Amino acid sequence: MTRFDSCDWGFPTSDAWPEDDVVAAGADLEPATLLYAYSHGMFPMHIDRLRRRLGWWSPLRRGVVPLDGLRVSRSMRRSERRFTVTFDTCFEDVMTQCSDLRADGNWITQEFVRSYARLHRMGHASSVEVWNRSGELVGGLYGVRIDRFFAGESMFHRETDASKVALMHLVARLSAEGAQLLDTQWCTEHLASLGCVEVPRPEYLTLLGSALD
Short-list 5, 10, 4, CA closest to 23: 10
d(CA 181, CA 204): 9
Q: Which residue type, as a one-letter code, is found at position 61? A: R
In tens, the pLDDT along 191-200 reads 999 999 999 9
Element of type H or E holding 94: helix 91-101
Query: CB–CB of 142/125 below 8 Å?
Result: yes
The Cβ of residue 18 has, within 10 Å, a number of other Cβ atoms equal to 11
In tens, the pLDDT along 24-43 reads 999 999 999 999 999 999 99
Short-list 133, 188, 139, 141, CA closest to 160: 139
Short-list 75, 69, 4, CA closest to 34: 4
Contacts of 87 (CB under 8 A, 6+ apart): 126, 127, 128, 129, 169, 173
Give the single-character DSSP code of 18.
-
Q: 22, exposed or middle or buried, with CB in 10 Å at 0-12, 13-18, 19+?
A: middle
Domains in the chain, ordered, with CATH?
A: 14-60 (3.30.70.3550), 62-211 (3.40.630.70)
Short-list 5, 48, 33, CA closest to 144: 33
Bridge partner residues of 154 (DSSP): 142
Q: What secondary structure does DSSP assign to 29-79, as a single string?
A: --HHHHHHHHHTT-EEEEEETTTTEEEEE--SEEEE--TT-----HHHHHH
Instruction: State the helix-helix crossing angle for 110-122 and 31-39, rounded to 10 degrees.
Output: 80
Query: CB–CB of 56/198 below 8 Å?
Result: no
* Per-residue model confidence (pLDDT) at position 2: 60
The Cβ of residue 79 has, within 10 Å, a number of other Cβ atoms equal to 19
pTM of the predicted structure, to 2 decimals? 0.94
* Per-residue model confidence (pLDDT) at position 189: 94
Give the single-character DSSP code of 12.
P
pLDDT by 10s per residue, the chain, length 213:
466 888 899 999 999 999 999 999 999 999 999 999 999 999 999 987 656 789 999 999 999 999 999 999 999 999 999 999 999 999 999 999 999 976 665 789 999 999 999 999 999 999 999 999 999 999 999 999 999 999 999 999 999 999 999 999 999 999 999 999 999 999 999 999 999 999 999 999 999 999 998
